[in-house]
């Protein structure tokens, strides 16, 4: 069992535990030992799809641990669902010594974590993420929250879980498209700060795209190594900047573009041109992040080429990106089975980006890749981005 600690002001505030197995006799049981009043919130779909999660839930029920199965989707990621979890905790007599244990993907962990932060002015919580996306990103770092009005994750707080328990074996039941969606966030993490692991991740994902079952069976150790490395990068960034005043912004690589694509593809019935299987309308979050990373690499190129004008305004901050970086990303993403082209024009995307909750004083912090393993944050207005990418 491997443990990665997360710090704030020199004190350990959370930990990521990478374990084998998802039963109470495994490392998970050790993680739960200090907590006498556990309340489990689990995604109902995951219970039906994953044998390991089903068995874990049975173990909890036998031990008389209260379990609440919730229906999860982006549209029910709301205050109503959070209040429903709080009502259940109240009903089950959860007290200040409760531990809310969320089992599911990022929506389940975000909502349950948020419910725990407000219930009785805050009780402890922990996560067992069951998607790759949640294992490498959403369930690490303490961002909790829900959607409100038209905005994703606009209500919430940053508060750290007691622990996040990662079990790579649970990913075996994930559909390929969902796995690859999480893989895009994993690649993002390595583009930010670990070139060596990026190459390993691309090699693993190429094999996965060609033969999912054989890769999952034969390359179990590699997957665990990749997940652990991605979790370590994220834990490091969060330890240095828990409240996103600076460095943590790098984790938003590709996300301003991705949010615009997601918003447009949900709003219109228009089908993005490059989804993976040609059937589902709309892009998954990870697919949109993949496209967003390529757009960010193109933006870095154009910014550098723009010579005097813009580069002067951000003088001293912007270094030349590696030649051919955007093209390399496109080729790698294609080999992994991920898209790289936006189905929307930059002008359409700009309309949404202007309303992005992360825009400050008309400017957006764009994270621009300079090389695999290195990024730079540059503040640009949406109009400047439109000019550069048109
Ligand atoms: N998902 C980005 C962050 O946790 O900051």
Residues 353 and 325: their CA atoms lie apart, in Å, by 24
The reported pLDDT for the residue numbered 194 is: 83
Evaluate whether 234 touches 141 at the Cβ level (below 8 Å): yes
The CATH number that domain 247-389 falls under is: 1.20.1090.10
Q: What confidence score (pLDDT) does residue 317 get? A: 58
| Residue tagged active-site, from 147, 153, 252, 275 | 252
Least confident of 45-49, 122-126, 279-283, 302-306: 279-283
> What atom in ligand 1 is closest to the CA of residue 252?
2
The answer to whether the CB of 7 falls within 8 A of the CB of 33 is: no
Q: Which of 139, 156, 242, 251 to mutate to test the pocket of ligand 1 (most atoms within 8 A of CB)?
A: 251
Q: Which residues have C-beta within 8 Å of that of residue 239, sequence separation ≥ 6?
A: 5, 6, 7, 8
What confidence score (pLDDT) does residue 165 get? 98
Q: Is 37 a catalytic residue?
A: no
CATH number of 2-173: 3.40.50.1970
How remote is the CA of residue 153 from the centroid of ligand 1, in Å?
A: 11
3-state secondary structure of 371: strand
pLDDT reported for residue 363: 85
Judge if the beta carbon of residue 248 lies within 6 A of ligand 1. yes
> How far is the C-alpha of 61 from the C-alpha of 47, rounded, in Å?
13
- Give φ, ψ of 154 to 5 degrees: -80, -20
Which pLDDT score is estimated for 278? Answer: 41
387 in catalytic set: no
Q: Which tens digit of pLDDT belongs to each residue from 345-389?
A: 999 999 999 887 666 667 899 999 999 999 999 989 999 999 999
Residue 390, helix vs strand vs coil: coil
Q: Considering just the CA atoms, what is the radius of gyration of the chain in Å?
A: 21
What pLDDT is recorded for position 313? 61
Ligand 1 atom nearest the C-alpha of 143 is: 4
Query: Within the chain, how many helices (H) and strands (E) appear?
Result: 16, 11
Q: Which pLDDT does position 273 carry in this prediction? A: 38
Dist CA 81 CA 75 (whole Å): 10
d(CA 142, CA 242): 8
pLDDT per residue as tens digits for the range 92-149: 999 999 999 999 999 999 999 999 999 999 999 999 999 999 999 999 999 999 999 8
Kindly give the pairing relationship between strand 11-18 and strand 2-8: antiparallel
Tokens of 235: 């834990």
Between CA 386 and CA 372 the distance in angstroms is: 25
Residues 288-301, mean pLDDT to the nearest whole number: 96
pLDDT tens digit sequence for 160-208: 999 999 999 999 999 999 999 999 999 999 999 987 899 999 999 999 9
Q: Is 365 a catalytic residue?
A: no
- The whole-number pLDDT of residue 99 equals 98
Catalytic hit among 159, 285, 298, 370: 285
Query: CA-CA distance, 198 to 186, in Å (whole number)?
Result: 9
d(CA 209, CA 201): 12
**pLDDT for the residue numbered 356:** 73
For residue 150, which phi and psi values (nearest 5 degrees)? Answer: -100, 10
Confidence of residue 277 (pLDDT cuts 50, 70, 90): very low
* pLDDT for the residue 254: 97
Cα 90 off chain centre by: 30
Question: What residues does CATH 1.20.1090.10 cover in the chain?
Answer: 247-389
CATH 3.40.50.1970 residue ranges in the chain? 2-173
Catalytic residue among 15, 224, 225, 244: 244
19 — pLDDT class (breaks 50, 70, 90): very high
Average pLDDT of span 290-312:
84
- pLDDT tens-digit readout, 39-93: 999 999 999 999 999 999 999 999 999 999 999 998 999 999 999 999 999 999 9
Query: Is the model's pLDDT at 150 over the cut of 80?
Result: no
How many C-beta neighbours within 10 Å does residue 217 have?
10
Cα-Cα-Cα-Cα dihedral sign, residues 33, 35, 40, 43: negative
Pick from 290, 277, 288, 281: nearest CA to 332 = 290
Is 159's C-beta closer than 6 angstroms to any atom of ligand 1?
Answer: no
The conformational region for residue 254 under phi > 0 = left, psi -120 to 50 = alpha, else beta, is: left
């Amino acid at each position: 069992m491997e443990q990665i600690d997360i710090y704030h002001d020199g004190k350990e505030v959370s930990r990521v535990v990478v374990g084998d197995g998802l039963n109470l006799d495994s490392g998970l049981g050790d993680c739960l030992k200090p907590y006498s009043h556990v309340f489990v919130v689990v995604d109902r779909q995951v219970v039906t799809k994953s044998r390991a999660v089903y068995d874990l839930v049975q173990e909890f029920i036998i031990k008389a641990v209260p379990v609440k199965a919730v229906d999860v989707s982006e549209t029910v990621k709301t205050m109503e669902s959070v209040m429903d979890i709080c009502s259940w905790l109240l009903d089950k007599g959860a007290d200040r010594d409760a531990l809310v244990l969320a089992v599911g993907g990022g929506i389940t962990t975000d909502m349950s974590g948020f419910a725990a932060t407000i219930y009785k002015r805050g009780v402890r919580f922990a996560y067992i993420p069951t998607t790759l996306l949640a294992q490498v990103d959403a369930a690490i770092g303490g961002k909790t929250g829900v959607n409100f009005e038209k905005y994703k994750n606009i209500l919430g707080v940053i508060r750290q879980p007691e622990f996040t328990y990662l079990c790579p074996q649970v990913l075996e039941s994930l559909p390929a498209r969902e796995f690859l969606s999480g893989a895009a966030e994993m690649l993002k993490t390595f583009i930010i700060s670990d070139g060596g692991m990026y190459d390993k991740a691309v090699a693993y994902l190429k094999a996965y795209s060609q033969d999912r079952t054989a890769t999952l069976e034969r390359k179990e150790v590699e997957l665990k190594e990749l997940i652990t490395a991605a979790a370590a990068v994220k834990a490091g960034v969060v330890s240095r900047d828990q409240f996103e005043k600076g460095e943590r912004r790098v984790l938003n690589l590709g996300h301003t573009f991705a949010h615009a694509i997601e918003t447009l593809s949900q709003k219109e019935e228009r089908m993005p041109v490059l989804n993976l299987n040609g059937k589902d309308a709309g892009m998954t979050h990870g697919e949109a992040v993949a496209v967003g990373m390529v757009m960010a690499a193109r933006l870095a190129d154009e910014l550098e080429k723009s010579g005097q004008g813009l580069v002067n305004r951000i003088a001293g901050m912007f270094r030349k990106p590696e030649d051919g970086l955007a093209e390399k990303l496109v080729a790698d993403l294609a080999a992994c089975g991920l898209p790289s082209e936006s189905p929307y024009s930059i002008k359409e995307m700009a309309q949404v980006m202007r309303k992005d909750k992360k825009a400050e004083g008309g400017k957006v912090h764009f994270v621009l890749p300079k090389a695999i393993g290195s990024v730079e944050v540059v503040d640009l207005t949406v109009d400047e981005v439109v000019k550069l990418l048109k």
